[in-house]
Structure 1
Amino acid sequence: MVSLIMFLLSIASQTLAVHVALSSETDKIALLALKDKLTNGNHDALPSWNESLHFCEWQGVTCNRRRMRVTALILQNQYWGGTLAPSLGNLTFLKAIFLTNIHLRGEIPREIGHLKRLQILDLKQNNLHGQIPMQMINCSSLYWIILTYNNLTGKVPSWFGSMVQLTHLGIAVNSFVGSIPPSLGNLSSLEQLSLTYNHLGGSITPALGRLSNLNFLALGGNKFSGQVPYSLYNLSNIQVFSVTDNQLVGNTLLLNIPMAFPYLREFTCGGNRFTGTFPSSISNLSELQVFDIGDNGFHGPISPNLGSLHKLQIFFVPFNRFGSGRAYDLDFLFSLVNCTQLQKLVIEENYLGGVLTDTIGNLSNNLDILVMGSNQISGKIPEGIGKLINLKTLGMERNSLEGIIPYSIGKLKNMVRLTLQENKLYGKIPLVIGNLTMLSEVQLYSNKFEGIIPFTLGNCTKMEIFSAHENNLSGNIPNQTFGYQQGLIALSLFSNSFTGLIPSELGNLIHLSVLYLQENKLIGEIPMELSACSALTELVLESNLIHGSIPSFLGSLLSLEILDLSNNNFSSTIPHELVNLKFLSMLNLSFNHLSGEVPEGGVFNNITAISLFRNKDLCGGIPQLNLSACPMLPLQKKHKRSLKKRVILIMAFGGVLISFVAFISIYLFKKKAKKLSTTSLALQYGYVKVSYGELHQATNGFSSSNLVGTGSFGSVYRGNLVHFKRPVAVKVLNLQTHGASKSFMAECKALGKIKHRNLLSILTCCSSVDYNGNDFKAIVFDFMSNGSLETLLHNRIEDSESTNLSLNLMQRVNIALDVAFALDYLHSDLEEAVVHCDIKPSNILVDDEVVAHLGDFGLARLVHGAASRSSSGQATSSTIKGTVGYIPPEYGAGASVSAEGDMYSYGILLLEMLTGKKPTDTMFAEGLSLHNFCNAATLERITEIVDSRLLIPIAKQEGRRVTSQQNMEGTIQECLVSFAKIGIACSEEVPTQRMSIKNVIKELHAIKQKLFL
């Protein structure tokens, strides 16, 4: 009997072992099928998933030790762009799925319903579309469903209400429609519910009031209407309550919140239609950190007893009707002094009156945003403002402030944005403004400032916008002050009393888009140096004393949209070159002394776009101008024939002479080049000389801990050199790589003589031998703390210097502009134009202020004659230049490198920034390319192809308020379409059909303006 039992046990044991083995084999097969779809067939992805390891040891796979079955699948932050295979449903022991930010596309397979043991499903930050499969209802053990940041559609499933184990449900930032199903009220265990930024509407269902364990409720960014149900005030455990950007109404919300939610940490209801007063009971919310009620209809005084909110960080109440224009309106500021963690205080666009006192300087040292514009505040700006040393934004515009700008403002050295316009401020602009070297925007217009512009303003080299129009400023516009601000985009000084010449140094402002100098007393001529301002869209000089001829170079400023030279003393003829300005929509030359024939064509054919009044000696032009016909010159035809012969003779002689000079120049240049040694490069370009030993010490012996990246020709290390106060990047060439030495010379020469805000600055170079006597070559650059654009776009966690920065749409537009500015400089602003030949994300470095710098000039080529960009000015190349995916098609056919080739690569770069997809993605095969993929997307489909991170509304990304959620979504969608069109236009197959870099800058500026507004 015992023997029989032992025999039966043995059989059972063997049967169980066979069953376990078969089950394990099922999991292995399922994983391999999953890998193929997940990685889009990329054999290099998930290298550990092979036969040499047991599948339980594969990356991201966790198994049950006893049964050897897969219980968890965790794969994050990869760029695969694959799909979820139905084989996922065969992993029946799965309890947790974390497949986040791996660019999944396609639909959630219905086979997921086979996973009855599944407890956690996290698929956030992908590109999944379609509806949530109903089969998921079978996953009755689920307690965590996170599907945020995808493109899922349909209605919120009512069957969610039967998943009684759920504690977390997050489906925010998708495209769900309909209303909130009342069945969600059955989820008695639910702790967190996030439905933000979908297209949900109707009333908020009262059934949510039954969720007694709920501590997080986020319903913002939808189209909910009506009142907040009273049943929600039963949710006493709520810590985060957000209903921003909807169409909700009611006048008791603020009154009910303190009593209903005693543990509240974040309360945001901005962008609705709520009304009512500010109750003193808000002070009872001792855990409150974020308070946002902006853009509603709240009124009355702001409670003066907020000092008990010791954890308060954000107090955001703009665009309401608080205050009555009286003295006590600002009393609440006294109580906020006790809120020592306060970071952002925004009270603009209300009716707050009263006088600012030095108490404002006692606010939290953590305060970085203080905005109180568009109120009725009077008095002087207190000296105490200088105590807020961490302020980055100070907004006091459109009030009744008077007096001078206090000297203490010079202590605010972190200031980026200063807006004091439309007040009654007077006195001089203080010299200490030059201490604020981080300034990007300064608005001082419509005040009573007098005196000169302080020369110290030249220290503010990061300035982009400076407006001081409609004041009493006088003297000369300083010649060098604005010349240092090479990133300046808008300069407005009109309606003052400036005298002297237009500064020639304004020609340094190659990014300048708007220049307003009208209604001053400027004299002299328009300086020739302005011809370098190729980004100008608006040039207004009317009502001055400027004389001379209208310069013909204005016709080369192809971005011009508005040109106003009226009410001056211009004489001579109208230059025919103005016909070339295709975007010019307003040309005013009235009230001058112009004579001769009015050109035809371009803007001159649009009678509503031009004004030529009071120029009595003009003739010709289109008939609608009603000018007299120009007199016919005698012997004109004979002169023309004679002139033609002369031109032919001159051109023939000139061609021979130029060829001879070119031959001699090339001979001498080659002879000189042979003598040039790389060891003299540092001296040749004026760099500080560094030795191998210094670089060895600076990088801890080129240790792996200092390694920040590798490239085709070498490795880059972070280091610290005694010659420089800031960290540096040391690019060490791998001289064993073919072409490395040539790359070293090319990069040193290319960067040695060019300087630009958006080019990577070369600090020095070293050509020596290492401690073993081997040749050593290295280039030292500024270190970029945010790494490369490729890292930021694709978040490659294996990069040692990867950051948590997630680029929003505005930041990507700014980076695109930065690279465009760099290309415009390389192609147009140098005696010898430079063709980069390798525009791609890994060659674009981003600093700590998210400013992009184009680097890696190892393939760069010089094109002689920067003034000419025709094919005759192209550089020859015997090999294909660039990186696969970004190389223009004509290079593959043997064409010479050209500026148009760079434009192709730039276009692919823009499309990669838009979609988050590399041009070499495995999805692009059989005739489908990144260009075609984007070109096929219509206005309605744009959200299906873009990086899901770009669908987060800009206002939320940057903490700004918009009045209409629908308008905001429409603006973002419109900007995404415009961005796509630029990338498509730049990456056309035929070089001559590609968009020019100047038009790119113009279009990107337009997108930036829409996003900003």
Structure 2
Amino acid sequence: MNSFVNIIVLVFLSLFATLDQACNQIDQETLLSLNFSASNPPLNWSFSTDCCFWEGIKCDSKARVTHLWLPYRGLSGSIYPFIGNLTHLCHLNLSHNHLSGPLAINSFSLVIHLETLDLSYNSFSGQFLSSFFQLAENLITLNVSHNMFSGSIPSFTSWNNKSLSSLKILDFSYNDFSGQLPPGLGNCSKLQTFRAGFNYLSGSIPDDISAATSLQEISLPGNQLSGAISDGVGNLTSLSMLDLQSNKFSGLIPQDIGKLTNLKSLQLHTNSLSGFLPQSLMNCTNLITLNLRINNFRGDLSAYNFSTLHNLHTIDLGNNNFTGSFPLTLTSCKALIAIRLSRNKIVGQISPEILALESLSYLSITNNNFSNITGAIRILMGCKNLRMLLLCKNFFHEAIPDENQRAISSYAFQNLLVLGIGDCEIKGQIPTWLARLKKLQVLDLGSNQITGSIPGWLGNMPNLFYIDLPYNSISGEFPKEFCGLRALALQEVKNRADGSQLQLPLFVPKTKIALYNQQYNKLFSLPPAIYLRNNSLNGSIPIEIGNLKFLHVLDLSLNNFSGEIPDQISQLTNLEGLDLSENNLHGEIPLSIIDLHFLSSFSVANNDLQGQIPSGGQFLTFPSSSFEGNPRLCGDIVQRQSSCYFIHPTTDELASPNESSNNELRNGIIAGVVFGFIIGSVSGMLYPLHRLKLWQTLCAWIERKGQ
């Protein structure tokens, strides 16, 4: 019993001894001096409590602050210069906040203890001083990514040797660093991760990087690095990721790349690499992602044996000079989810062996020379998980298969979200089997030789929000059923849009409205659009078009539409691009269109419109070419005002496209008309004069008098 009491007493004495170890006063005052504030809820930092119990703070046995750990807290302000007084700080993590200003951590007693420094995702600026690295002795992790640091990355040869031997993670990515990659990285014997992507770095990769044999990740995308990829990369046998995309590298892939048997991701796309793929690449049996898009590689794809890459999920060989046929050895890679072979010189047909890829979700073979579209559709409909199918610029001058050919199963493409068969010059009508694709969101049949009318059932597809049918020979009227497209009319459908990341980005070429090629990594980021440009559509634009409240782009140009521009277009409050040019539209431009505040591209050129061009709003930004070819339009933008009043060509009555609220002006014009007729009758000159010119002269005179 006595021993039990003694234990209790010792516990309480120990507890009181611990409580007596209050937070170091200097540390507490330093923390309160830091010039930042937190968003709700505020930090629980106060002089009245022990700082060792504050949020984000940890202390050692001597009540000295060792951890300042406040990521994702909405912090703003700066940390300079007082943080240097936290001389026992080992771990500093202020990532994902809104902190700014320079980083001047020069205190030896602070830096010498730092093991973790994570300031990523803030707005720190200025240069990263080399003196920091000369002082650091215990640094393991340094992450300053996603800031605004500038200048050069300090040379690794000037770093403290103890720090070089302890470093495991270095991340300089997403800043404004410039200059060359500094030498000395090979001295970092324990370095596992080196990232410096999306800066302004130039020059080549220092050769001594091949001595950093513990490296597992090299990530340098989005710079201006050049030269060849060193053969020494084969020494980095622990490497699992090599990302050198979007630079200016040239030359060959190193022949010893096959030594990297732990490599899972090889991303060399968007460079100037050339030559054949080294056969040793097939020894990288752990590869999950292989992306070599946009280079100058060549060779017969069907001659490569991809079957060893049994872990491969994504392969992108697009935009190269590969020849041959579809590589059937890829069908042995059972884990494949995404294949892109677009923009090469591949010929032949789609083989039924592709059905072995049961997980295939993304297939793009655009811009090659495949043939037999009926066979391709019949085979690919068996890929039950296919969501993205891009076949554009193939199957030239063939006929698009329809149900009467019994080539399409009623269960085909039930998971398909995107179907692209554009720029093929294929013949026929819009196939009826499309009506079964209830999940389809994007349809591209543009630049073909499709005839007939737009079927009304296309407007009943529940998820369709992007329709691309330009440059065909489609006739008939704009189907009113289009105005009921649920994905363009209902908020609830829009909210259900799939926001997941695509396995490979989707590229949409430039149009008259979208002036630049766009890359989309998520399907729901694609602007909802209806492109019907350059067909033979006629009739009026239905007033029901105002139902499509989530439409971003409407292109009806180069058709035979007639009638007036419906005022209901002003209900398309998300509209960014509207092109009604090259039609037979007449009447006025509805004044309400100025309420389309997101409208950045607009044209009604070459119609038969009349009256005052609306002023204000986005109309102040459109060029005069948006209105050319309508001689009876007037306004400052076309430098015509007097033509706003004229004799109607059929009724011979005074026509005022925009009735003025100023009765005096109106009466003055009418009086001028009567006066003109009297003078003309007396002089015998009325009929030789063109009536429109007479009215323009009179209106100009009245305007001058009004001034």
**TM-score range, shorter-chain basis?**
0.5 to 0.7
Residue number among 534, 554, 563 corresponding to 1:586 in the alignment: 554
Maintained 8 Å contact 2:43/2:55:
no
- Structure 1: distance between partners of 2:133 and 2:345: 52
Instruction: Say whether 1:577 aligns with 2:577.
Output: no
- Structure 2: distance between partners of 1:336 and 1:433: 28
Amino acid at match of 1:372: L
Instruction: Say whether 1:377 aligns with 2:300.
Output: no
Maintained 8 Å contact 1:90/1:114:
no
Task: Report the CA distance between 1:323 and its aligned residue.
Answer: 1.0
Q: Which residue of 1 aligns with 2:103?
A: 180
Match of 1:294, SS state, is coil
Task: Report the CA distance between 1:347 and its aligned residue.
Answer: 0.8
Residue number among 140, 143, 147 corresponding to 2:66 in the alignment: 143
Maintained 8 Å contact 2:152/2:180:
no
Instruction: Say whether 1:439 aligns with 2:406.
Output: no
Maintained 8 Å contact 1:186/1:211:
no
Q: Which residue of 1 aligns with 2:608?
A: 626
Q: Which residue of 2 aligns with 1:362?
A: 283
Q: Which residue of 1 aligns with 2:126?
A: 202
Instruction: Say whether 1:221 aligns with 2:221.
Output: no
- Structure 1: distance between partners of 2:564 and 2:172: 61
- Structure 2: distance between partners of 1:137 and 1:108: 20
Instruction: Say whether 1:515 aligns with 2:439.
Output: no
Amino acid at match of 1:323: S
Q: Which residue of 2 aligns with 1:703?
A: none
Per-residue displacement from partner, 1:149-177 (whole Å, max 9, x unpaired)?
Answer: 32223222544434333332222222222
- Structure 1: distance between partners of 2:451 and 2:13: 90
Q: Which residue of 2 aligns with 1:697?
A: none
Amino acid at match of 1:247: D
Match of 1:209, SS state, is helix
- Structure 1: distance between partners of 2:225 and 2:290: 20
Q: How does 1:524-923 map to 2 (within 5 A)?
A: 524-557=452-485, 559=488, 562-565=529-532, 567-568=534-535, 570=537, 575-582=542-549, 583=551, 585-588=553-556, 590-591=558-559, 597-598=563-564, 600-603=566-569, 609-611=578-580, 613=582, 625-626=607-608
Task: Report the CA distance between 1:258 and its aligned residue.
Answer: 0.8
- Structure 2: distance between partners of 1:416 and 1:112: 58
**Structure 2 vs 1, CA of residues 256 and 546 (structure 1 numbering), >3 Å: closer, same or farther?**
same
Per-residue displacement from partner, 1:622-658 (whole Å, max 9, x unpaired)?
Answer: 69842799999xxxxxxxxxxxxxxxxxxxxxxxxxx
Task: Report the CA distance between 1:549 and its aligned residue.
Answer: 4.6
Maintained 8 Å contact 1:356/1:380:
no
Match of 1:337, SS state, is helix
Deviates more, 1:305-314 or 1:567-576: 567-576
Task: Report the CA distance between 1:367 and its aligned residue.
Answer: 1.1
Task: Report the CA distance between 1:201 and its aligned residue.
Answer: 1.3
Maintained 8 Å contact 1:265/1:290:
yes
Task: Report the CA distance between 1:536 and its aligned residue.
Answer: 3.4
Maintained 8 Å contact 2:275/2:298:
yes
- Structure 2: distance between partners of 1:70 and 1:472: 84
- Structure 2: distance between partners of 1:567 and 1:611: 11
Identity over aligned pairs, percent: 24
Q: Which residue of 2 aligns with 1:265?
A: 192
Per-residue displacement from partner, 1:43-86 (whole Å, max 9, x unpaired)?
Answer: xxxxxxxxxxxxxxxxxxxxx934474999xxxxxxxxxxxxxx
CA-based RMSD:
4.1
- Structure 1: distance between partners of 2:197 and 2:288: 21
Match of 1:267, SS state, is strand
Instruction: Say whether 1:449 aligns with 2:370.
Output: yes
Residue number among 79, 86, 91 corresponding to 1:168 in the alignment: 91
Q: Which residue of 2 aligns with 1:280?
A: 207
Maintained 8 Å contact 1:192/1:216:
yes
- Structure 2: distance between partners of 1:418 and 1:280: 34
Residue number among 193, 197, 201 corresponding to 2:117 in the alignment: 193
Instruction: Say whether 1:495 aligns with 2:460.
Output: no
Task: Report the CA distance between 1:272 and its aligned residue.
Answer: 1.8
Maintained 8 Å contact 2:84/2:107:
yes
Amino acid at match of 1:399: N
Amino acid at match of 1:521: Q
Q: How does 1:338-349 map to 2 (within 5 A)?
A: 338-349=259-270
Q: How does 1:382-397 map to 2 (within 5 A)?
A: 382-397=303-318
**Structure 2 vs 1, CA of residues 461 and 159 (structure 1 numbering), >3 Å: closer, same or farther?**
same
Q: Which residue of 1 aligns with 2:628?
A: none
**Structure 2 vs 1, CA of residues 590 and 92 (structure 1 numbering), >3 Å: closer, same or farther?**
same
Task: Report the CA distance between 1:562 and its aligned residue.
Answer: 4.1
- Structure 2: distance between partners of 1:200 and 1:150: 16
In structure 2, stretches of 5+ residues that fail to align are 25-38, 490-527, 591-603, 611-647, 652-707
Q: Which residue of 2 aligns with 1:30?
A: none
Per-residue displacement from partner, 1:353-401 (whole Å, max 9, x unpaired)?
Answer: 10124433222x2211111111111122243223212222211222222
Q: Which residue of 2 aligns with 1:107?
A: 43
Bigger relative contact order (CA 8 A; separation at least 6): 1
Per-residue displacement from partner, 1:712-738 (whole Å, max 9, x unpaired)?
Answer: xxxxxxxxxxxxxxxxxxxxxxxxxxx
- Structure 2: distance between partners of 1:190 and 1:576: 68
Q: Which residue of 2 aligns with 1:306?
A: 233
Task: Report the CA distance between 1:139 and its aligned residue.
Answer: 7.7
Maintained 8 Å contact 1:307/1:337:
yes
Maintained 8 Å contact 2:312/2:333:
yes
- Structure 2: distance between partners of 1:336 and 1:581: 53
Residue number among 470, 483, 498 corresponding to 2:393 in the alignment: 470
- Structure 2: distance between partners of 1:388 and 1:293: 25
- Structure 2: distance between partners of 1:320 and 1:550: 46
- Structure 2: distance between partners of 1:176 and 1:340: 41
**Structure 2 vs 1, CA of residues 564 and 198 (structure 1 numbering), >3 Å: closer, same or farther?**
closer
Amino acid at match of 1:532: N
Q: Which residue of 1 aligns with 2:169?
A: 240
Task: Report the CA distance between 1:494 and its aligned residue.
Answer: 1.2
Maintained 8 Å contact 1:411/1:435:
yes
Task: Report the CA distance between 1:507 and its aligned residue.
Answer: 2.7
Question: How many residues were matched structurally?
Answer: 525
Maintained 8 Å contact 2:115/2:139:
yes
- Structure 2: distance between partners of 1:630 and 1:503: 45
Q: Which residue of 2 aligns with 1:250?
A: 179
- Structure 1: distance between partners of 2:177 and 2:552: 45
Deviates more, 1:164-173 or 1:345-354: 164-173
- Structure 1: distance between partners of 2:15 and 2:228: 64
TM-score (norm 2): 0.65
Maintained 8 Å contact 1:146/1:171:
yes
Q: How does 1:924-935 map to 2 (within 5 A)?
A: none
Maintained 8 Å contact 1:503/1:527:
no
Match of 1:475, SS state, is coil
Maintained 8 Å contact 1:483/1:506:
no
Instruction: Say whether 1:155 aligns with 2:78.
Output: yes
Amino acid at match of 2:194: F
Instruction: Say whether 1:405 aligns with 2:330.
Output: no
Task: Report the CA distance between 1:312 and its aligned residue.
Answer: 0.9
**Structure 2 vs 1, CA of residues 540 and 277 (structure 1 numbering), >3 Å: closer, same or farther?**
closer
Q: Which structure is higher in helix share?
A: 1
**Structure 2 vs 1, CA of residues 228 and 505 (structure 1 numbering), >3 Å: closer, same or farther?**
same
Match of 2:88, SS state, is coil
Deviates more, 1:402-411 or 1:433-442: 433-442
Q: How does 1:318-329 map to 2 (within 5 A)?
A: 318-324=245-251, 329=252
Match of 2:312, SS state, is coil
